[in-house]
Amino acid sequence: SPHQLNITSYRATTATIITLETFAGMWINAFIICVLCLAWGRKKTLNSNEKILLLLGCSRFWYLCFSWLYSFLLKIYPYCLLVHPTFQLLQGAYSFFNCSNFWFSACLCLFYCIKIANFRNRFFIYMKLKIDRIVPWLLFGSMIFSLVIGIFVYNVIDKAVCKSLNFTCHRILWKAAIRIEEQLYPIHFITGFVYTTSFMAVILSAVFLLFSLWRHKHKIQTNSMNSLSVDAHMKAMKSIASFFTVYSINFISLILTLIYSTKNQNHLMFIVYVIQIAFPGVHS
């Protein structure tokens, strides 16, 4: 029927767009990982910046892999998600890599803020001196926290699926998914807390860094120093502002996902999902 043809065409278009976005992001992050691994093999060590970028690239690569796999199964083979424990594993892995992606991004912004910004505060000076020792612990803590979130999501979804689905009968997947979603408000709360906390860290880091760069640029102009230094500071400010803008758009899309996840608004959720998939590639 025409209605079935429209649904098939919509699913094919959606799968194509998401696949192109996903594979572009995966290629970019794989390139970053390869370059850093070659540098690691050549120098036998990595500095703090490279450690953050390496873990960030790995988390984004696998985040895109699991995002594409989940969307592919949902659009093309939806009943595969009803096979225990496929849905739980995908959601747990997705939550782990998504959370680590957010926290590693926040660590990167925080690292740049402490390294580049210039404030005469004792605590800030202490952090600037100790940041290279603190970074490995920040990364380790981010990984442990993300792993706890992933395990928690797996357990909650596993209990919800066992209560809501009868795997011996055939039901419409999205209706079953809605019944599951209605039991996952604790996950939504914790996920929202993770997004908000990391976003606040990015906001504070970006604001302090932009203020420091603006003040330094103004000092350079006042002292009539060369224009190359002013241009370098302007480029740095534009780079940080663009990162903050992209990060903010992604944060809004994630909040919309939490709000509309229990509502059958396919077109809105598709746009939000396209933004989420685009972020790891665009930022990288």
Range of the domain at 258: 2-283
The average pLDDT across 35-61 equals 92
The average pLDDT across 14-23 equals 82
Q: Residue 10's pLDDT is what? A: 61
For 249-269, the pLDDT digits (tens) are: 877 877 777 676 656 556 677
Lowest-pLDDT range, 89-98, 146-155, 207-216? 207-216
What tokens were used for 153?
Answer: 């999501």
Q: Residue 173's pLDDT is what? A: 47
Q: Residue 51's pLDDT is what? A: 92
d(CA 67, CA 19): 10
For 166-200, the pLDDT digits (tens) are: 544 444 444 444 444 555 566 667 777 777 888 88
Give the model's confidence band at 36: pLDDT under 50 very low, under 70 low, under 90 confident, else very high: very high
For 72-90, the pLDDT digits (tens) are: 787 777 677 777 777 888 8
Q: Domain holding 145: CATH number?
A: 1.20.1070.10
Give the model's confidence band at 241: pLDDT under 50 very low, under 70 low, under 90 confident, else very high: confident
Counted domains in the chain: 1
